[in-house]
Structure 1
Amino acid sequence: MLERHEIEAFLAVAEELHFRRATERLGLAQGRVSQIVGRLERRLGVALFARTSRKVTLTPAGQRLYDGLAPAHQEIQEAVAQALATGKGITGTLRVGFSSAWAGDMVLRTAEAFRRTHLGCLVEIQEIPLYDTFGPLRAGVVDLQLTEFPVEEPDLVAGSVIFSDTRAMMVPADHPFARQESVSVEDLARAPLIGVTGDSPPYWREYIWPSKTPQGKPIPRGPTFVYWLEVPPLVASGRGISVASLLAAHYHGRPGLTYVPFCDAPPIDYGLIWRRDGFTSRVQAFTDTLCRIHAGRP
């Protein structure tokens, strides 16, 4: 018979294939998961994981155990969550916004998990345009939003950072920068920068599409855009360069474009925001679900 802590430790390592990440995921002290798994293997008399200095993999016995345990553990978690949701009365409709394709994928996956455990609550999702970053949230069109930080609005609350991604420069494939392994923020002064227009706060636009480099050099302005899908063709046609999350390469890659990471720029952080007067039990439950299944990775 396996104890609950043994099941959770085994499943965490089997899914992460990394003892440190499994330990962080479970919120345990360093080395604790390794101890639990080691004792479990000794008690069962079989190796569940093959360990080298470079990687961790499941043994055939470990894979068989995972295939049997994982679905049952998920069913137990969902049954408990459904009981709690029923007791807390989490019903109605929750509207969740996202500002980028990768944030949208995260919201979609979270919504699927949320629906399984909160059967009485409908989740509606929609994209939030960058030209009006906080408008739909303020207007009550959405209740919760996964977006780029920073958010410094007195009527809005920003949760903790959910994940971060490398900041990159989007350039034409034939641009000199495209041949480099990385670029500097100072390089922004050497080409017109395509940035967003609209009602987004100046501090927010400045953080992502700055007007000057850290050394104070002015960054020339290029065309502006309203919707993000305008940016790749503008860049590919040589109208300028832009700044994006490196994840954009997976969602908006196309011939004529190259994404080059910055070597000296902070990452772009993403997190959840909500109205200060709008933190409901539905918002809390969705936030908890997203943090549980996605914390630290998109």
Structure 2
Amino acid sequence: MLERLELEAFLTLAEELHFGRTAERLCVTTSRISQTIRKLERRIGAPLFERNSRIVRLTPLGKQLRDELRPAYDQISASIIAASKGSRVKQAITAGFTAPWCGNLIVRAADAFRIRYPHAVVDIEEIQLIDPLGRMRSGAVDLQLTEFPIVEPDITTGSIIFSEPRGLMVPEGHPFAVRESVSMEDLADATLVTIADELVPRYWMDYYFPRRTPSGRPIPQGPATNFWPEVLVHVSQGIGVSTVALRAADFHARPHMVFVPVHDAPPIDYGLMWPAAGRNPLVEPFLATIAEAAVSR
């Protein structure tokens, strides 16, 4: 008989193929996952994973065990959720997103989750960048797909789900508009339209709306907006430029505005976060569903 942690550790590691991310999802230490997998392998009498300093992958026996256990585990999880609804009250989870491409992924995951767990209610909410943590801290949102980095003592972060190249949104007549790409140093020669930062961590603002270039040159700061549409208006009217994921061109393109790659900027990483305490029991299965939906993204 498998213990619960053995089962969850094995199936999660089989999905993530990374001990650190597995530990994050199960809210235990990496060493605990390693010990649990070793204990399971000793009981079975054969290795389930091949692992070294660079890779983790399933052995043929591990693949067989995963394929046999996953359907049964999903059914058990669904039954537990259904049984816990009690008094005809459905369990619910609210998932937040900050960018349209994150929202698309959340919607696909929610559709799959509702099929897998028909007794669960999934609500979806757009989160404003000027207050990226407030809805979670108030308890209104259980899970959020958002721009990293997020380093907060009361919030747990999972693995990076996907990354997008960074770009610069510039007005059509701007000198940058005719370039194939720009650099972070070039920001010293432009006015950067930003967002209001009263409720945004300073480290997050410095990562996306820096005040200095890598060499230390000051970056002129333009209007601090309260909503993303205001950024689009300021840029399209020639007031300044703004950093953005290049993928935004598919959603926010408009006349007189150009999206230019920033060739030396780190990518924008998108990951999941949830409250460190009082976690909704639906968070764990929803995390797995999002990971599956991201594969086909």
**TM-score, normalised by the number of residues in structure 1:** 0.71
* 1:251-288 Cα distance to aligned partner (Å, 9 max, x none): 10111111111110000000000110133330001101
Deviation at 1:174, TM superposition (A): 1.7
State yes or no: 1:121 paired with 2:120. Answer: yes
State yes or no: 1:172 paired with 2:171. Answer: yes
Deviation at 1:175, TM superposition (A): 1.2
* Distance of 2:93 and 2:262 partners within structure 1: 37
* Distance of 1:88 and 1:97 partners within structure 2: 21
Amino acid of the structure 1 residue aligned with 2:265:
A
What is the 5 A alignment of 1:252-267?
252-267=252-267
Q: Give 3-state SS (helix, strand or coil) of 1:132's partner.
A: coil
* Distance of 2:141 and 2:174 partners within structure 1: 40
Q: Give 3-state SS (helix, strand or coil) of 1:140's partner.
A: coil
Deviation at 1:196, TM superposition (A): 0.9
Residues 79 and 108 from structure 1, CA distance in 2 versus in 1: closer, same or farther, beyond 3 angstroms? farther
Deviation at 1:84, TM superposition (A): 3.2
Count of aligned residue pairs for this structure pair: 226
Specify the alignment match of 2:182 in structure 1.
183
Specify the alignment match of 1:201 in structure 2.
201
Specify the alignment match of 1:153 in structure 2.
152
Of 79, 90, 102, 1:86 maps to 79
Deviation at 1:146, TM superposition (A): 0.5
* 1:162-221 Cα distance to aligned partner (Å, 9 max, x none): 000001000011211111111100011111101110311111111001000000000001
* Distance of 1:276 and 1:83 partners within structure 2: 25
Residues 93 and 184 from structure 1, CA distance in 2 versus in 1: closer, same or farther, beyond 3 angstroms? same
* Distance of 1:284 and 1:269 partners within structure 2: 21
Specify the alignment match of 1:249 in structure 2.
249
* Distance of 1:284 and 1:80 partners within structure 2: 13
Specify the alignment match of 2:49 in structure 1.
none
Q: Give 3-state SS (helix, strand or coil) of 2:110's partner.
A: helix
Contact 2:176/2:260, CA 8 A, preserved across alignment: yes
Amino acid of the structure 2 residue aligned with 1:169:
L
Contact 2:192/2:221, CA 8 A, preserved across alignment: yes
Amino acid of the structure 1 residue aligned with 2:134:
G
After the TM superposition, list the runs of 4 or more consecutive aligned residues in structure 1 that deviate by more than 4 angstroms.
Answer: 27-30, 77-80, 88-91
* 1:96-116 Cα distance to aligned partner (Å, 9 max, x none): 111111111111111011111
**TM-score, normalised by the number of residues in structure 2:** 0.72
* Distance of 1:99 and 1:78 partners within structure 2: 32
* 1:106-137 Cα distance to aligned partner (Å, 9 max, x none): 11111011111010100001111111110000
* Distance of 2:193 and 2:270 partners within structure 1: 21
Q: Which runs of 5 or more residues in structure 2 are unaligned?
A: 1-55, 61-69, 86-90
Contact 1:81/1:118, CA 8 A, preserved across alignment: no
* Distance of 1:263 and 1:94 partners within structure 2: 39
Specify the alignment match of 1:281 in structure 2.
281
State yes or no: 1:268 paired with 2:261. Answer: no
Q: Give 3-state SS (helix, strand or coil) of 2:130's partner.
A: helix
Specify the alignment match of 2:135 in structure 1.
136
RMSD of aligned Cα (Å): 2.1
* Distance of 2:125 and 2:80 partners within structure 1: 29
* Distance of 1:78 and 1:113 partners within structure 2: 15
Q: Which runs of 5 or more residues in structure 1 are unaligned?
A: 1-26, 33-76
